[in-house]
Chain A
Amino acid sequence: MTTFFFAYLALISIASGILTVALRNPVHCGLALLTLLLHVAGFFILLNSEFLAMVQIIVYAGAILVLYLFVLMLLNLKTEERVFHQRTAVIAFVTAGVGGVFLLMLLSSPFASLSGNATPEVIGFVGHTKAVGITIFNDFLLQFEIIAVFLLGAIIGAIVLAKTPIARQYDSSDKP
């Protein structure tokens, strides 16, 4: 059963990733990216991280992708004649070759490490959300606060950048 779900998720996520890169209409690309994000959330459920799957669906598919679609429809991009770069085939083949070498190296490595103490039994006893919360507020508190400041800076930066320049219009009001 797990194998079936893994095969389904892997197949659909890789196919939708290729569609995101290859489709011509940007809105179609956004919808393919939505499919990819939902299937990555399925991977997280398969890996016993339900909280992260919900975060993925709410934040990625719910907030970030809606932001992308808003900007796409706000700008009303037309599908161009030349969607791809000039040397598309060369770039794609070289990158796929390098990626294939990395894939072979990764698949032939044993991946052994020390195990932590957050076994599925422990997480199942306290609940995944609570376990993640306890870890994030004990071991990663400084990083959590840094993320908070970073998000505040991102919000202020986005507002300042995308603000309608009113003062500039007053300066050039005599020009047509």
Chain B
Amino acid sequence: MIPLSYYVAVATILFVIGLVGVLIRRNFIIIFMSIEIMLNAANINLVAFASYFDALDGQIAAIFVIAIAAGEAAIGLAIIIVVFRRKIATNVDQLNLLKW
């Protein structure tokens, strides 16, 4: 039986990788992919705790997280398409209209 700490360690490392990706990349879509990495790290934690403490609630929460991620991807990619179509920007540093 793998100790629970190992799953938590893997999830933490994946979360930090996603956080670094959000902070250092300049491409919109890669930033969204990094957010997906972070959501997956949270899912690993939820399912690991649910499995080790014999409760199904964590797995239900993971299903909800997957549904939220689907909605977030649809809305985010629609916004990206609008931004690219109007030729407003090609990376996040140029989107500074709301950042005063």
Contact = CB atoms under 8 A, between A and B. Distances in A.
To the question of whether A and B form a pair in one complex, the answer is: yes
Interface of A: 2-3, 6, 10, 13-14, 17-18, 20-21, 26, 29-30, 33, 36-37, 40, 43-44, 46-49, 51-52, 55-56, 59-60, 63-64, 67-68, 71-72, 74-75, 77, 80, 82-85, 88, 91-92, 95-96, 98-99, 102-103, 106-107, 111, 113-120, 123, 131-132, 135-136, 139-140, 143, 147, 150-151, 153-155, 157-159, 161-162
Given A52-B62, A106-B9, A95 B56 contact: no
A30 B30 CA distance: 8
Residue in B17, B50, B51, B64 with the greatest tally of chain A CB atoms within 10 Å: B17
Nearest to B14: A17
A17 B29 CA distance: 15
Given A33-B37, A115-B54, A2 B24 contact: no
A120 B1 CA distance: 14
B6 interface: yes
Interface of B: 1-2, 4-10, 12-21, 23-27, 29-30, 32-34, 36-37, 40, 43-44, 47-57, 59-60, 62-64, 66-75, 77-82, 84, 90-91, 93
Contacts of A75: 29, 80-81, 84
A117 B36 CA distance: 31
Given A43-B7, A55-B66, A115-B53, A21 B13 contact: no
A29 B33 contact: yes
B24 to A, nearest CB: 5
B37 A36 contact: yes
Contacts of B43: 40, 56
